[in-house]
Structure 1
């Protein structure tokens, strides 16, 4: 949540692409399939689908079925002269009003009426971001005051309940019980 305003948390837009490309086109709706990902998206599957990870070990579980990115990062990078729109950074769900990067591992996000994803970790911004827009990597990958790396490329998740998600849908956040584990790259 941002400023405790969970009732304002919304899906801005949704994107999918059946081909491995950096950006994904915005569509009217996406269908999430439990344990699989997004119907018709190249990154759907029970095992890892990202090409670099498949090359290392194709049997790894797919902890990156759905990529969520906060629209607030678009506002932030716009101050540095970058014009980034929903889907451009490869995310499936663009959000507003949820501090995605501050969520602990295992947080459940209800998207719309039925779909639920479990947050597995951070997206690790890579060189492809600079190939898309030179210098953008520096804007989404920085250092905090304590020297730790800040990754602002969104979060990855797996589908725990299927359903249809559309722009404008409400997002409800359910934090895990017990000790909260900070997100790490997956």
Structure 2
């Protein structure tokens, strides 16, 4: 495989609703549902904070993707030892700037396909997992680190805790699978928190 080819680094899931997920050898994506055996799978909202918005809302957070390059930035900021699944992601990627892709982008993960729906909004659990880590995944528009979560409506912050997606085509996703990007038709809409 070409070392510059975007690829899957690791995959994780968890049947229980916890902050971190468990790295596994493969995950099975189910179209319109999410990841088989993952607490966030489902056609309707499954996030533990979703019920206050109503359980009849479509689940736009079926699969969480995170760039492995964020772990390098975290290490440079003094947060060594982050590994697959630690930040709750299902798919850890390399070689692709997920945050700059527009809404509706299709990512072929070696057969299974997801459609990007928005940004993950970092929550207070990041600092509970590792004190101070929020400043790595959230910054003000001027680039200075933010120390605490902000409301979804605030657009003056940069969220770097990954992207959320829904499953378009199912199948198994494994580490080292190539990632192929298909952009939606123009005009493109930037990802916003979901």
Alignment partner for residue 166 of structure 1, among 170, 174, 182? 174
Gaps of 5+ in 1: none
In the other structure, the counterpart of 1:96 is: 94
Q: Map Cα deviations across residues 152-177 of structure 1 (whole Å, 9 max, x no partner).
A: 00000000000100010000000001
Mapped partners of 1:34, 1:157: distance in 2: 11
Runs of 4+ in 1 over 6 A off after TM superposition: none
TM-score (norm 1): 0.94
Q: Report if the CA contact (8 A) 1:36-1:45 is conserved.
A: yes
Query: C-alpha offsets along residues 18-48 of structure 1, whole Å, 9 cap, x if unaligned?
Result: 0000000100000000000000000000000
Partners of 1:16 and 1:151 lie apart in 2 by 22
| Residues 36 and 159 in structure 1, CA contact (< 8 A), matched pair in contact too | yes
Stretch moving more, 82-91 or 15-24: 82-91
Q: Is 1:118 aligned to residue 126 of structure 2?
A: no
Whole-Å separation in 2 of the counterparts to 1:31 and 1:143: 36
Displacement of 1:57 after TM fit? 1.1
Measured after TM superposition, the shift of residue 7 of structure 1 is 5.6
Moved more, 63-72 or 146-155: 146-155
Match of 1:156 in 2: 164
Question: What RMSD over aligned residues (CA atoms) do the two structures have, in Å?
Answer: 1.5
**TM-score scaled by structure 2?**
0.90
1:34 counterpart = 2:42? no
State the secondary structure of the residue aligned to 2:49: helix
